[in-house]
């Protein structure tokens, strides 16, 4: 790796304020880059970050300044506990923006996740870290992350997270907790569209949406078609049905969309950009055991393209399957016991950086765990992850 590329890695963190005093023996960019490299290679906690640095000292010294020795795990822990998470997030977002360029035309799924063992006292688990992430399905990359005190604070965090992102031309999906007027307004004013889950936390809108969908369903049943634009009925609608099945599981999804929002009355005008209501009926047959679920959504996307909206609704769960699951399984996030200051949030951000870089790499067609092992064995592959 050439000198220019090595300097570029460190440059990404030059503007981040150092929480320590002026007389320090380890530079902050060196600490951050070391931690990122260690996490990519499988480190789980500050002790393992220190062990990684010690085992790779000769190689790391070719582009990092370790003239004062390898930082201890206590040093890593203290620095990241005190490091301003907002400043770290800005560096994170700038880096990802350089790698991925834009959200335009993509699905941005926003959801929260608790780090289950990050509470400070065993008798008070309310203090565990809760992080809200914006995950772009097409890139399989985290574009932003904010910490909140608990799940109920996601409502305040989502507009702040959206403000960090360029969502022009993107479709933002949020679960029912985030179905709030201010969030819909923030998305539309940011140049994006939304698909928001609708439940009893918005009782008036939910009831009116149910009534509209019931009327559309009556018209659909009269037509008897499995795919229709509803042009001949009393209610304008779109409909599509899909069936997927493997390993003893068969799932049937019926997506019904109507853009006759005038049926919602004055309630529709209270939601910026509201253009249609969506209902998704799912029926799962697992070895003969059948379960059914119905979900409602509101969207700013015009028209009644049921196939597209069904794909967006399903795509929202990519944040669970491709982000949260990976963080738990590949990065052991729920078992990590980092609890001081901003340590849990900032370590989680390191893991999200590592996951973005590993998913972006196409050199080896293997899983995340295998890529982490390969990075630990192959220095060229490891540095290539950071400089690509």
Rg (CA), the chain: 24
How far apart, in whole angstroms, are the C-alpha atoms of residue 282 and residue 255? 9
| Superfamily of domain 97-196, CATH level 4 | Ribonuclease H-like superfamily/Ribonuclease H (3.30.420.10)
| Token duo for residue 225 | 């078609």
Name the residue ranges covered by the structural domains of the chain: 3-93+339-387, 97-196, 203-307
Q: How far is CA 319 from the centre of its chain?
A: 5
Give me the pLDDT at residue 78, please: 92
In contact, 328 and 116? CB cutoff 8 Å: no
How far apart, in whole angstroms, are the C-alpha atoms of residue 160 and residue 104? 19
Give me the pLDDT at residue 232, please: 56
| Bridging pattern class, strands 249-258 and 276-286 | antiparallel
| Torsion angle, alpha carbons of 269, 274, 277, 278, to 10 | -160
| Bridging pattern class, strands 193-198 and 171-174 | parallel
pLDDT one digit per residue (tens) for the chain, 388 residues: 444 445 566 677 878 888 887 788 898 989 999 999 999 999 988 999 999 999 999 998 888 888 899 999 999 999 999 998 888 888 877 777 666 655 666 888 888 777 655 445 443 455 566 778 888 877 777 777 777 766 557 788 888 888 878 888 999 999 888 899 999 999 999 999 999 999 888 999 999 999 999 999 988 888 765 555 555 557 889 999 988 877 668 888 999 999 999 999 999 999 999 999 999 999 888 877 888 889 999 999 999 999 999 999 988 877 777 777 777 777 777 666 666 788 888 888 888 888 888 888 888 888 888 999 999 999 989 888 876 5
Report if pTM > 0.85.
no
222: Cα within 13 Å, side-chain hemisphere: 13
List phi, psi (to 5°) of 118.
-95, 5
DSSP structural state of residue 172? E
How far apart, in whole angstroms, are the C-alpha atoms of residue 385 and residue 375? 9
Helices (H), the chain: 3-11, 28-40, 46-55, 57-60, 73-82, 85-100, 154-163, 181-189, 203-223, 306-315, 318, 325-329, 343-360, 368-377, 379-387
């Amino acid at each position: 790796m050439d000198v220019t590329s090595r300097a570029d890695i460190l440059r990404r963190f030059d503007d981040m304020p150092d929480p320590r005093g002026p007389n320090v023996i380890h530079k902050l960019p060196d600490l951050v880059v070391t931690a990122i490299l260690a996490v990519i290679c499988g480190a789980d906690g500050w002790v393992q970050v220190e062990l990684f640095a010690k085992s790779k000292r000769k190689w790391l010294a070719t582009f990092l300044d370790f003239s004062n020795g390898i930082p201890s795990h206590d040093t890593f822990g203290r620095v990241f506990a005190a490091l301003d998470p907002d400043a770290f997030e800005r560096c994170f977002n700038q880096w990802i923006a350089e790698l991925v360029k834009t959200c335009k035309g993509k699905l941005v799924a926003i959801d929260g996740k608790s780090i289950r063992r990050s509470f400070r006292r065993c008798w008070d688990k309310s203090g565990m870290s809760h992080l809200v992430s914006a995950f772009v399905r097409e890139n399989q990359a985290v574009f932003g992350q904010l910490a909140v005190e608990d799940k109920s604070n996601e409502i305040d965090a989502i507009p702040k997270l959206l403000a960090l992102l360029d969502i022009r031309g993107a479709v933002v999906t949020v679960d029912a907790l985030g179905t709030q007027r201010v969030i819909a307004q923030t998305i539309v004013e940011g140049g994006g569209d939304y698909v928001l889950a609708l439940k009893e936390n918005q009782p008036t809108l939910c009831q009116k949406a149910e009534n509209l969908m019931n009327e559309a369903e009556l018209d659909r049943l009269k037509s008897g078609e499995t795919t229709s634009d509803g042009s001949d009925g009393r209610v304008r609608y779109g409909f599509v049905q899909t069936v997927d099945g493997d390993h003893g599981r068969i799932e049937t999804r019926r997506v019904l969309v109507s853009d006759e929002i005038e049926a919602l009355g004055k309630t529709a005008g209270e939601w910026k950009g509201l253009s249609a209501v969506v209902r998704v009926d799912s029926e799962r047959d697992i070895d003969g055991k059948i379960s059914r679920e119905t979900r409602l959504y509101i969207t700013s996307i015009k028209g009644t393209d049921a196939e597209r909206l069904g794909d967006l609704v399903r795509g929202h769960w990519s944040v669970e399957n491709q982000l949260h699951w990976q963080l738990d399984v590949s990065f052991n996030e729920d078992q990590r016991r980092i609890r001081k200051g901003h340590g849990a949030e900032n370590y989680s951000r390191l893991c999200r950086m590592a996951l973005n870089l590993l998913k972006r790499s196409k050199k080896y067609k293997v899983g995340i765990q295998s890529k982490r092992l390969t990075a630990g064995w192959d220095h060229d592959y490891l540095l290539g992850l950071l400089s690509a």
